[in-house]
Amino acid sequence: MISSQIEQALNRQIDLEGFSSMYYLSMASWCQVQGFNGVSAFLYHHSDEERMHMLKLFHYINDRGGHGIVPAFAAPQKDFSDIHEIFNIVLSHEIKVSNEINALVAMCIEEKDYTTHNFLQWYVAEQIEEETLARNIIDKLKLIGEDKGGLYLFDRDLQTMGVAGHGRGKGGRKKH
Ligand code: OFO
C-alpha cells in the first residue's frame, strides 16, 4: 500500500509523462508539416514511449492500492522556429523530468517506501538515456548548422532511429 503523499506525487508524475507525450506529439506534427519526415517519425515514436512511461505509473499506483488519475493536460506549444529549437526544448524538458524523478526518489527514501523506490529505478536509468540521446542529437545539429544537405541527411538518420526504437543499444533496445 502506498501512502497518500506518494500516491499524489506519482499522480503528478503521470501528468508530466502524459504532457511529455503530448509535447513530443506536437513537435512531431510540426516537423511532418515542414517536411522533416524522419525527425517527425522519431518524435512520434518518442511520444509513444512517453505514453508508455505514463501507463506504467497508472498500473503501479493501482496495483499498490492507490488510484491513477487522468489529468487535464495543458495544450503544448504548436509552432517552433526550427529543428534546433525543438531539440533544445527536448533536452531542457528531459532535464526537468529527471529532476522530478529525483525528487520522487528522495521522497521515497524519506518515507522509507523502498518498493516505490525500486520501481522508480527504471525511470532513473531511462532519464540518463534520454538526456544523453538529446545531447548527442544537439551536438550533431551544432555541426550541421543551417547546411541544407546536412539537415537532409540528419532527417534520414532520425528516420532510422525512430523505426529502431531511438537506435539505442544494439539495433534499438526493447524498453517496455
Ligand atoms: Fe522522457 O520522460 Fe519519460 O520518463
pLDDT of residue 163: 64
Say how many Å lie between the CA of residue 94 and the centre of ligand 1: 7
Ligand 1 nearest atom to the CA of residue 101, by list position: 4
Domains in the chain: ranges and CATH: 4-163 (1.20.1260.10)
- pLDDT digit string, tens, across residues 138-174: 999 999 999 999 999 999 999 988 666 664 433 333 4
CA–CA dist 18, 16 (Å, integer): 5
CA–CA dist 125, 112 (Å, integer): 21
Say how many Å lie between the CA of residue 147 and the centre of ligand 1: 31
pTM of the model: 0.90
- pLDDT digit string, tens, across residues 89-142: 999 999 999 999 999 999 999 999 999 999 999 999 999 999 999 999 999 999
- pLDDT digit string, tens, across residues 25-57: 999 999 999 999 999 999 999 999 999 999 999
Question: Residues near ligand 1 with C-beta < 6 Å?
Answer: 17, 20, 50, 53, 94, 97, 123, 126-127, 130
Contact call for residues 171 and 163 (beta carbons, < 8 A): no
In total, the chain counts a number of residues equal to: 176
pLDDT of residue 169: 38
Contact call for residues 176 and 122 (beta carbons, < 8 A): no
Say how many Å lie between the CA of residue 53 and the centre of ligand 1: 6
Say how many Å lie between the CA of residue 141 and the centre of ligand 1: 22
